[in-house]
Amino acid sequence: QVQLVESGGGLVQAGGSLSLSCAASGRTFSSYGMGWFRQAPGKEREFVAAISRGVGRIYYADSVKGRFTISRDNAKNTVYLQMNSLKPEDTAVYYCAGTGRYELLDRQSYNYWGQGTQVTVSS
């Protein structure tokens, strides 16, 4: 069992930056692929970024490529999402998720989810 707790959300002006963190419990964090998803009001939860357990694979949604960076520190059981050049359309609840499966882009692949953290970008 893995428990995930996100932090770092908040309110920022367009063009600004935020850094999200997701702390995981348990001693097997390094064996999980990790992803970030987001959900805006009235919309489905969508993929943002993912990183494999060995950091050999990193993926981004086209909408955030070049602006967001995902990373992980297995020694700290933490995955990060650095968000730069934020836009109002980035406003959403951001969720951290973990999976033991190879597939990282599909939210159905993820077994574990955090409670989410709100990111609001004002124009």
pLDDT tens, residue by residue, 58-100: 999 999 999 999 999 999 999 999 999 999 999 999 999 999 9
pLDDT, tens digit, for every residue of 9-59?
A: 999 999 999 999 999 997 789 999 999 999 999 999 999 999 999 878 999
102: how many CB neighbours lie within 10 A of its CB? 10
Q: What is the pLDDT of residue 56?
A: 85
SS3 state at 109: helix
Phi/psi for 109 (5° steps) reads -75, -15
Q: Which region, left, alpha or beta, applies to residue 42 given φ > 0 means left and ψ of -120 to 50 means alpha? A: left
> How far is residue 3's CA from residue 25's CA, in Å, rounded to a whole number?
5
Q: CA 37: distance to chain centroid? A: 5
What residue type is assigned to position 44 of the chain? Answer: E
Token pair, residue 55, equals: 């950091």
Phi/psi of residue 34, nearest 5 degrees: -125, 145
Q: What's the pLDDT at 26?
A: 78
Q: How many CB atoms lie within 10 A of CB 122?
A: 11
